[in-house]
Chains A and B, each alone.
Chain A
Amino acid sequence: MPLGGLPVLLGAWVVAELLFLRTATRTLVHIPGLGRFETPITALAEVGRWGYFLATVSLVAILAVLAYRGLRQRDTRGRLSGAATALFLVVAGAGRAGLLTSEILGWSSLATVVIVTAASWRGPRTLPIALFTLGSFAAGVSVLAQGSGGGLSGRQVDTLVLVAEISLILAGVTTPLLLDMTPRPPAVFAGLAAATLGVGALVTGGSTLSILVLWNLGVPGWLSGVAYALALGAMVTTLWSSFATRDWLRAIGLFLMLAGGLGVISTYQTGLVVAGILLIGMSLDEEAVQDSQPVEVVPGNEIARPMAGTSA
């Protein structure tokens, strides 16, 4: 079953939800003097809400397709990720209907992310996904192990949150490993610009962006903003390169992971992470298929193309 334009659609809705609902309106409403713009800001929030509902529906559709595709594969890895995704959809639905406790729902979500990551492992190139999942696991345990009545000491919570932050930053810094080629200069410059902007925001604002990191990524931003800026730069480089080479699945997958954030925040955000990891895995598989095909080089022409009759 083809995914068609679903990933692009989902990416667009998530952009609207992330920018307008989760970030912009929550920020703008607190800035003094913007009260006269209350109507447009309220309208912006409504756009974000529509983005959220459209994203949620598209996410369920894309996860269902990904689960179906996985279950139909012949290798264990594909079946495992397909089964985990299908189970997540069932568990999330049952949790919403009040049939499961929040503890079962939380641990199931965390297990799904771990299983899908393991099934998507393709060697060192998928290290950023593994690091992201490690961070997600640590952040999730800091929430789930406390339950609703405590159970972890303050030091244990600190350690888990710190592991989550370090993993997130290292995942960001290593994202260029997902690329199948050395990033071209424009992508590197874009990454440098993003990192410079991040460092600039740090210098001018002290603990800049930490609250947005907390709200959007699920970690409190205790570590240095410079490290976050470097991670941001590496991620922008990776996204730019992926878009430049028209590798939409990889770019959208990476974006969905980031929008999902670490730990267990909601079934929607866990679903974004699962979909993101699976899309990146698909992208790497498609790349491996293309790499396995012999290509011919026309003398005098730098562009290699698959030999006739060998296209997928």
Chain B
Amino acid sequence: MRRALPKLGVLMVLVVVAVMLRVTEANPAQAQTLTIGAWRVSEDPGLDGSAPEWQSILPVFVPTTAQQITPPMGGGAVERVGIRAVHWEDQLFVMLEWSDFTPDYFSDRSEAFTDAAAIQYPAEAGSEVPFICMGLADQAVNIWQWRSDQQGELPGLPPNGYVDLYPQTDDLHLTARAAGNPLSQEVRSPVHNLVAGGFGTLTSSDSDALRGQGVYSDGRWMVVYSRPFEPAGELQPAFSPDQPIDVAFAVWDGSRQERDGIKSVSAFTRLAITPEDPPRRGVAATGDWPAYTPPSPMLAYSIGFIALVVIVAGAVWFYLRRRPDGPDVEES
């Protein structure tokens, strides 16, 4: 009984401290994950990610992996995304760049899928440990999605080709437009501002403050998103130099049959708005992106590695079998 009391006392102290921290939301841990700087620039950086002003900024590389949360699952065709971020006159610009040797501009057949990219923020700016901005039932999110098939001036159309016109223009026949489907509107944007406040609530926001554009060049997509610091609607974060914000990224490669949940996603990182100038490089770096389409999905490499793992496992087993068990025994 006497020994049990101190133990109970220690347990009580731990619980009381934890309760106090939980109630006051005072998280004693500090995030140490990848932080992407959003640097100050003195001129409008524009939405062309291939421009020298963008390309001279050093990117932060974020590894991505297959999405495996909700059916349809899979993806992972893109292994990393290069991120650059700047701010100009209280507007945030974020650029995603990734390697893709087969640009997909059209989703005009049921088996054709578009390239796309998305950025996700918590609805309220902040950085939590552990990262809970995505997927918790009580955490709303704001998603910026860009789709290549929603951009005007699509390449690849025959110059003298014909486009069928749909004669009816009323809501009775254009039901998707009438229902408010953002992909069916006459005036469309390549970026969609989506908000979700819980289960099954993902919807398009009316806000048109979000702008974006994708550029394809040298086997890479470069997509720039821009939005003022102050949000135009609910469930969208306000950006501030004083408050880093959690952020995650996703990319779809249409020609690899990626769509919906089949995509490449990143872990959570942080975006920090800083008053400093961006770190730049004089010339384009080599080695940022592969110069060829990587073999899918490193099959021979994986087989060799599995063989190595099996050999190591065997060696461990052999070592354990040879080692005498237990303590030295002294016959009495």
Contacts and interface: CB of A to CB of B under 8 A. Distances in A.
B319 to A, nearest CB: 7
Given A150-B58, A214-B65, A230 B137 contact: no
A125 to B, nearest CB: 9
B95 interface: no
B156 interface: no
Interface string B301-318: 011011001101100110
Nearest to B15: A54
Contact of A266 (B37, B130, B138): B130
A182 B310 CA distance: 18
A53 B22 contact: yes
A42 interface: yes
Contacts of B265: 211
Interface in B275-332: 278-279, 285-289, 298, 302-303, 305-306, 309-310, 312-313, 316-317, 319-321, 323, 325-332
Interface in B23-46: 27-37, 39
A180 B326 CA distance: 7
Interface residues of B, number: 89
Interface stretch (A67-75, A221-229, A246-254, A276-284): A221-229
A42 B303 CA distance: 42
B67 interface: yes
A29 interface: yes
B228 interface: no
Interface string A3-31: 01110010000000100011001110111
B78 to A, nearest CB: 11
Given A5-B7, A26-B136, A290-B327, A215 B267 contact: yes
Interface stretch (B69-77, B112-120, B182-190): B69-77
Contacts of B272: 148
A152 B137 contact: no
Nearest to B81: A154
B316 A176 contact: yes
B10 interface: yes
Indicate the member of A17, A158, A173, A290 with the most B CB atoms within 10 Å. Answer: A173
Nearest to A195: B313
A268 B130 contact: yes
B198 A149 contact: no
Nearest to B285: A153
A149 B278 contact: yes
A49 to B, nearest CB: 7
A60 interface: yes
Contact of A226 (B285, B306, B323): B306
Contact of B29 (A96, A213, A219): A96
Interface in B61-107: 61, 63-71, 73-76, 79-80, 82, 84
Contacts of B161: none
B241 to A, nearest CB: 13
Contact of B68 (A146, A211, A297): A211
A78 B309 CA distance: 33
B79 A304 contact: no
A109 to B, nearest CB: 6
B60 interface: yes
Contacts of A219: 63
A227 B309 contact: yes
Contacts of B10: 4, 6, 61
Nearest to A291: B327
Given A230-B313, A294-B330, A295-B328, A224 B34 contact: no
A152 B288 CA distance: 9
Interface string A97-129: 000001001100100000000000000100000
B60 A177 contact: no
